[in-house]
């Protein structure tokens, strides 16, 4: 599968992706909330400056009913 590239060209999509990663990490490691929020702020600053891009590797999956 071709990796997805999220960048400043679609800031709302990248921001949502970041938020979901932070939320998932906070669920797994609640004691790291402050560190995660600081990381998220740095990434948002990079996004606003047009300096952030993310490559998301994934596998396509087709599920058909029987």
Residue 5 pairs in a beta bridge with 55
pLDDT digits (tens, 9 = 90+) for 18-46: 999 999 999 999 999 999 999 999 999 99
Task: Give the per-residue pLDDT at 1.
Answer: 76
Q: Where are the domains of the chain?
A: 4-56
Task: Give the per-residue pLDDT at 27.
Answer: 97
d(CA 29, CA 45): 23
In the predicted structure, residue 2 carries a pLDDT above the cut 90: no
DSSP-derived secondary structure letter, 10:
S
Task: Give the per-residue pLDDT at 66.
Answer: 92
pLDDT digits (tens, 9 = 90+) for 47-58: 999 999 999 999
């Amino acid at each position: 599968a071709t990796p997805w590239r999220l960048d400043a060209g679609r800031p709302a999509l990248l921001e949502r992706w970041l938020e979901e990663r932070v939320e998932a990490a906070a669920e797994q490691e609640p004691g790291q909330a402050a560190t995660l929020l600081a990381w998220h702020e740095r990434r948002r600053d990079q996004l606003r400056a047009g300096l952030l891009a993310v490559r998301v590797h994934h596998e396509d999956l087709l599920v058909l009913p029987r």
